[in-house]
């Protein structure tokens, strides 16, 4: 079993829909990262959070430490949101500071 | 600021050839990382450098060596390339390993035939 699991693997939405991507982890973490990988391949960090909720524009990330679960929400989705979204857990244990990555969720938003 | 830069963007090697992937950052970050990304798998850490003068193995270090040349530059060397090293390689940096997000370079697509 992977230490960081994302669901769904693929997601197709219509423009304007509310989108949720889920991330579950089994390791002790000091922080949880959400990243966006553009179709051209570039990777951008969206959020780093260790508790509660963070918001940036139409993106919202939440984390529940007790349940070892995080969600990334996109409100009023747009075709430019089409990308792969990657969850990564920052390891608290032996290799402190290293990131353990999920396999990513490929989002396609249709106009 | 250019952020994190990587060269080359693309490379094709024959089995057994050697090459060095270059990475540089202009954000005065202490920590730097090399990852590989393969289809159907998450990014995996090859090596990292917590600070200038130190390097440590990550999850998949076999077949690779690294050099932290100075605070700005962190290179990844393949001494004898193998087809299993066909991948997309990303360099990243962060102010430190613990508290901050990582900034990624554009990636190098390497094919070993």
pLDDT, position B5: 97
Residue B83 at interface with chain A, using a CB cutoff of 8 Å: no
Structure token pair of residue B18: 């050697």
What is the predicted pLDDT for the residue at B10? 96
The answer to whether A103 contacts B41, with C-beta atoms less than 8 Å apart, is: yes
Q: By three-state DSSP, how is residue B85 classified?
A: helix
B-chain CB neighbours of A30 within 8 Å are: 98
Position of tokens 């554009």?
B106
Q: Residue B106: which of A42, A96, A103 has the nearest Cβ?
A: A42
Q: Counting one residue from A and one from B, how many pairs have CB atoms under 8 Å apart? A: 54
Residue A25 has pLDDT above 70, yes or no: yes
Contacts of A43 in chain B (CB under 8 A): 90, 92, 104, 107
Residue B55 pLDDT: 95
Q: Model confidence over B36-75: pLDDT tens digits? A: 999 888 899 999 999 999 999 999 999 999 999 899 999 9
CA nearest to A25, candidates A107, A93, A87 = A87
Mean pLDDT value across residues A52-75? 95
3-class SS letters over A88-111: EEEECCCCCCCEEECCCEEEEEEC
Length of chain B: 113
């Amino acid at each position: 079993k992977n230490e960081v699991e994302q669901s769904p693997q693929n997601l197709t939405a219509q423009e304007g829909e509310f989108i949720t991507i889920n991330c579950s982890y089994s390791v002790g973490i000091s922080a949880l990262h959400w990243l966006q990988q553009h179709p051209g391949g570039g990777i951008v960090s969206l959020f780093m959070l260790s508790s509660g909720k963070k918001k940036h524009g139409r993106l919202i990330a939440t984390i529940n430490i007790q349940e070892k679960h995080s969600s990334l929400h996109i409100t009023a989705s747009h075709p430019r949101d089409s990308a792969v979204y990657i969850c990564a857990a920052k390891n608290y244990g032996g290799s402190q500071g290293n990131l353990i990555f999920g396999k990513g969720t490929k989002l396609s938003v249709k106009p | 600021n250019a952020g994190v830069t990587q060269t080359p963007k693309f490379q094709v090697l024959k089995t057994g050839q050697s090459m060095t992937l270059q990475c540089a950052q202009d954000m005065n970050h202490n920590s730097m990382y090399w990852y590989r990304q393969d289809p159907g798998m998450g990014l995996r850490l090859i090596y990292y450098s917590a600070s200038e003068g130190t390097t440590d193995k990550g999850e998949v270090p076999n077949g690779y060596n690294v050099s932290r040349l100075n605070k700005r530059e962190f290179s990844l060397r393949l001494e004898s390339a193998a087809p299993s090293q066909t991948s997309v390689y990303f360099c990243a940096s962060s102010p430190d390993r613990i508290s901050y997000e990582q900034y990624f370079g554009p990636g190098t697509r390497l094919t070993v035939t």
